[in-house]
Structure 1
């Protein structure tokens, strides 16, 4: 066999010459090895990279309730001539701790000129032509009468949509003012301007603007194009809300699910830890309004047919930041939060939290089956806290599967300590995370071949291949995705050990990211799936029901000649699903032997994901540079030959009898 070595980005591939011998891959569909869990391939959502506010949560107004550290951040006051005190921030303090601030606007046409407040949105507002936009705000008329002119602006300040609204004079209670209008033009970075006319004093709060075309047309809902990308993956689960925001910089900033449910105006805003986590990507306007809260997360799972997997704080803040912990004898409120969440998700309407869920619009239970305790926590302090949670939760809800953290790294002393301790505690799932270069993913394909087949299962909760010498969206290149495709063959082959997996992070805004790589990139109007997105999607939409042997010379195909493979059967459709990665730059031939099957259809479906250049990325200019293409191929003879293009991920679906 004629071979040559090729070094690319630190990886050594075996380049197969024209005289290379045809290899034979033996598939044994009559010898199922393990069930593939319906939750095998899922997604992980965290509010990072403007994933929620400014991302999947479709609200266009930034700092809508004036609760940022700088109360007028995102707003610009214009008045000619300027009059001091025409806009003042009021604070109700302890009387209204969840939403204490509002703006008091004084309009006096005799002394002032035109008074406007303009909101810049999240890196601008993405506006679509001929689409209806729904405006609302809370107001009180303290005195006089004020008219409100609501205008959409393009980047040059031109008006592209407007409506005029009339608050009721003498209205002393907080009242919702609503209006709708259409945009006359498309604009990627628009703005919203409020013009105040007349004479009087008006208090305003919760200033809001949503597009009509939210997911399922829900008022105050999510960006439909971003949700559709998730729905198209057919994920088995959604892990939420994080991630590191679960822990918080300290415990005061941890994610508390109870503060994210109920009326939107009553949800208490907090700073997002990604506001300041990376000085080189400082994002001082990054906060969490919780318009996207736990009810909306559960509803999203319901919509796309995925199991909900909430992660809760275990009484520990981020150990890289403050390392703050709750004393063991003060852990009960955190445990109560977990028990109450189960009631919120599964309880009937006669229970306290089940009643709230029903009042929010979902009388039926969400059928929660899994719950994570802690995120990327480690050390003996985590282990002792997890065991207390485990005892309390299993006593009351033995039906709920618990997911435990194995820390930040997939190997080393911290990992070994937790892996041993959690297995001894018979935890249901151990959450392993991998943020490593492509070489790691190629080398770790056989990671789970020798794991215990019984006992605790593995959840590959966060994985992403980080290519060196890249940054931002360029990190999501084809080399990263190809290495992930290879690694996932090992996860599927060991489906009796690994029962869930999800890439991380999920979303990133081109103008507001903190961390890369990411599965899906967006701007205010567009969504781009990375090559890694299509790898994960191909696995999720070609899951199968049982793994079966896929052997080269009697051994699993896990790197020989830069080839990686896994096989499954789909009992429902009567198909063999074969996934093969060719990490070599050269085309390779493979003879296919299917044992134990009397006959298969002569035509199979072949889906390929490939690029000749390992640095290729999908971008706003070329969103389909690396995208799956499906065609029919003929399977000739008793041992049909498969042609595997260089640098390719291939999925074959073969009908059999």
Structure 2
């Protein structure tokens, strides 16, 4: 390692500027545009969704009511009722487990002598309400015999003032769905929903719901539009869902079961979220999974944003960091059948059992599923034993489905080595590598895949993020971490014949409800912003290209020499060369990129710069684009592209080529 590279790496770690070099001769790079080294997978840069940090309920799922069907472990959690209302029988939570095991509880409200009863829902750290927005309220209700009850629905602002109202008059003693809409008169960041029952007798209520009219594509049971738009802007090649560790569950009873997340929303079985109490310093006892965002909605989201779906299924193993529970191998058949049935749900004809359910839910056309993950982050011989049984059953019936397989929680060590050796011998399709490490690791491992076996299984960089130093679990999404990831990703792109997919993790985090950091996108009840890491991902995904061509210095790949990292692709569709340059040093670096194998280059190209003067700089809700791409033209002379890479920066250059 050169002395300058050592000094520059120290600068990246400390945030200190390096003294300018006295010699400012440009670094001379050569691009061999006629030598295609690999094709870039259309799925190359994707996104990984896990319901952590209130990403689903309270996040991208637009439902505003928390514990809408009283199924939390504390049945009235999220609701405020008058003091003594439970003990006096004014409100009781009735459990009808034998009649409805998926959604057994409902609220029985008996009106007191004053003939009114009020209850308030706090939402997910409050409700984000926007002035002028229409809100759609609904509930299932039935009157108790001989009753006459009217329901008044009020939206309250942060101070408790009514900013929207409507009424419903239920009729009949059988369950019916009632709906009403109204418009909010003001904006509230932490609003609440107030329900007031007046009249005589009593009423039973369940599935109390409030959605904004403006969801993604205006769908009922829809998704929060601004968050989905941030995902769509990434132009992701795939969507991996639903996790993550929630696939496993702390134990098998609370594993993710996709069949319980499809069909009628009112019949989906809520479970505790495994991140509920995982971290004592960020405990969230009100964190559950309603599955309003279920497998159908995940497939639909993938289709909406042009991403290939990549569902991950439980392989008969709970989280090995928690219970380590496994299902007996001779009882694994239901788990395997779930995988086979999921493929039918995604791709089967409308006359098949699960294809018919997909059609009934509004999507008769298949979702074109091509990949499936077996387990999340498992390790050891117990995983291999179960994976082998899954693989045989799936390949026998669906030989074209490519399987994604775990290599454990770390990118090295005994667990990794065992699975890497074993699964390669089993000729696995895709191996899923995970790395959460300091920025220095990412800088030092940009050449990780240069020596990988070109004929072996493909690699999925399924979860990665550079973790800067933080306190109380808050690893900040600063420019230092994003810059290190940009450098590392040059190595992923350069080795696109081996690495076919990559995704940052986790994806989303509520600023008032997170458990894990850093995260790609942060939001509150009204706003959202992309981190510097988000813009790194966006620049790679939006400048993906179709084939990799070499960029060299002194006949070697550029992976940290003089603190510079580089990769190049050609976009055959647009006829452009795309050069990516990362300067990890605190000093500017002039470069000259000579392009061989082309007749000529256009006289000008497009330069996109992502940079900051401080490695500790971050974006925020108040300054969402403090670090964001800047675009400008760049002059090109002959067949050489010249520029000076600013300190601590990521450059993307696009220039038309004439072959």
Q: TM-score range by the shorter chain?
A: over 0.9
Instruction: State the match for 1:76 in structure 2.
Output: 80
Contact 1:44/1:240 (8 A) holds in 2: yes
**Residues of 2 paired with 1:162 and 1:469: CA distance?**
44
Q: Does 1:52 align with 2:56?
A: yes
Contact 1:570/1:576 (8 A) holds in 2: yes
**Residues of 2 paired with 1:83 and 1:479: CA distance?**
56
Show the 5 A alignment for 1:120-269: 120-143=122-145, 144-168=147-171, 171-269=172-270
**Residues of 1 paired with 2:480 and 2:563: CA distance?**
13
Aligned residues: 653
**Residues of 2 paired with 1:465 and 1:503: CA distance?**
9
Decide which of 115, 118, 134 is 1:116's aligned counterpart: 118
RMSD: 1.6
Contact 2:467/2:475 (8 A) holds in 1: no
- Tell me the SS of whatever aligns to 2:233: helix
Instruction: State the match for 1:352 in structure 2.
Output: 353
* Alpha-carbon shift at residue 70 of structure 1 (Å): 0.6
Contact 1:27/1:593 (8 A) holds in 2: yes
Q: Does 1:101 align with 2:105?
A: yes
- Tell me the SS of whatever aligns to 2:155: strand
Contact 1:473/1:521 (8 A) holds in 2: no
* Alpha-carbon shift at residue 255 of structure 1 (Å): 0.2
Identify if the C-alpha distance between structure 1 residues 65 and 211 changes in structure 2 by more than 3 Å, giving closer, same or farther.
same
Contact 1:80/1:113 (8 A) holds in 2: no
Greater mean deviation of Cα atoms: 637-646 or 7-16: 7-16
**Residues of 2 paired with 1:358 and 1:172: CA distance?**
32
**Residues of 1 paired with 2:168 and 2:574: CA distance?**
57
**Residues of 2 paired with 1:184 and 1:80: CA distance?**
33
Q: Deviations over 1:298-320 (max 9, x none)?
A: 00011111000000000000001
Q: Deviations over 1:241-290 (max 9, x none)?
A: 00000000000000000000000000000000000111111100000000
* Alpha-carbon shift at residue 84 of structure 1 (Å): 1.3
* Alpha-carbon shift at residue 441 of structure 1 (Å): 0.2
* Alpha-carbon shift at residue 583 of structure 1 (Å): 0.5
**Residues of 1 paired with 2:436 and 2:24: CA distance?**
35
Show the 5 A alignment for 1:369-384: 369-384=370-385
Flag structure 2 segments of 5+ consecutive residues without an equivalent.
none
Contact 2:281/2:472 (8 A) holds in 1: no
Contact 1:2/1:19 (8 A) holds in 2: no
Identify if the C-alpha distance between structure 1 residues 82 and 594 changes in structure 2 by more than 3 Å, giving closer, same or farther.
closer
Contact 1:471/1:516 (8 A) holds in 2: no
- Tell me the SS of whatever aligns to 1:246: helix
Contact 1:349/1:355 (8 A) holds in 2: yes
- Tell me the SS of whatever aligns to 1:70: coil
Contact 1:467/1:475 (8 A) holds in 2: yes
* Alpha-carbon shift at residue 136 of structure 1 (Å): 0.1
Instruction: State the match for 2:31 in structure 1.
Output: 27
Instruction: State the match for 1:340 in structure 2.
Output: 341
**Residues of 2 paired with 1:601 and 1:139: CA distance?**
68
Instruction: State the match for 1:588 in structure 2.
Output: 589
**Residues of 2 paired with 1:175 and 1:336: CA distance?**
35
**Residues of 2 paired with 1:303 and 1:353: CA distance?**
21
Flag structure 1 segments of 5+ consecutive residues without an equivalent.
none
Contact 2:12/2:586 (8 A) holds in 1: no
Identify if the C-alpha distance between structure 1 residues 80 and 421 changes in structure 2 by more than 3 Å, giving closer, same or farther.
closer
* Alpha-carbon shift at residue 232 of structure 1 (Å): 0.3
* Alpha-carbon shift at residue 156 of structure 1 (Å): 1.0
* Alpha-carbon shift at residue 8 of structure 1 (Å): 3.8
Q: Does 1:62 align with 2:66?
A: yes
**Residues of 2 paired with 1:612 and 1:172: CA distance?**
67
Contact 2:11/2:586 (8 A) holds in 1: no
* Alpha-carbon shift at residue 473 of structure 1 (Å): 6.1
- Tell me the SS of whatever aligns to 1:194: strand
Q: Deviations over 1:310-361 (max 9, x none)?
A: 0000000000100001111111110000000000000001100000000000
